[in-house]
């Protein structure tokens, strides 16, 4: 008997997409997660949630996903990525309105 192995370009291991070249780590993991966060927050945004509820949503649903990636794939991210992430989160927290509290107090 012969065992046939399928050769693939990328593998998902413990929630992280891995390839033979590390150049695509950002696109395969961080960019896809950012898109997923945007989709999730669009769904959450349709619900009427208080300010504290929105902050709790970020703390319990979004931050753990980001922290897991930051810990498992320690690559240098550009400022544009982090600014976009910050913008998405702040828009969700303030429901698209002007912030009432400085960011450092959140």
Per-residue b or e along 5-14, where b marks 16 or more CB atoms closer than 10 Å to that residue's CB: eeeeeeeeee
Beta bridge partners of 16: 13
Mean pLDDT value across the chain: 91
Q: Given this model, what pLDDT does residue 100 score?
A: 85
Size of the chain in residues: 106
| Domain parsing of the chain, residue ranges | 10-105
Q: Given this model, what pLDDT does residue 96 score?
A: 86
Higher pLDDT, 103 or 80: 80
Digit-coded pLDDT (tens) for 41-65: 999 999 999 999 999 999 999 999 9
Q: Given this model, what pLDDT does residue 51 score?
A: 92
Residue 35, pLDDT > 80, answer yes
Q: What is the 3-state secondary structure (H, E, C) of the chain?
A: CCCCCCCCCEEEECCEEEECCHHHHHHHHHHHHHHHHHHHHHHHHCCCCCHHHHHHHHHHHHHHHHHHHHHHCCCCCCHHHHHHHHHHHHHHHCCCCCCCCCHHHC
pTM flag (> 0.95): no
């Amino acid at each position: 008997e012969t065992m046939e192995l399928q050769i693939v370009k990328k593998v998902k291991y413990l929630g992280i997409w891995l390839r033979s070249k590390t150049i695509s780590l950002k696109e395969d993991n961080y960019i896809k997660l950012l898109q997923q966060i945007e989709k999730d927050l669009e769904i959450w945004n349709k619900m009427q949630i208080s300010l504290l509820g929105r902050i709790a949503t970020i703390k319990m649903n979004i931050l753990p996903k980001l922290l897991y990636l930051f810990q498992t794939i320690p690559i240098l991210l550009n400022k544009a990525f982090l600014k976009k992430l910050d913008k998405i989160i702040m828009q969700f927290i303030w429901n698209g309105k002007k912030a009432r509290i400085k960011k450092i107090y959140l």
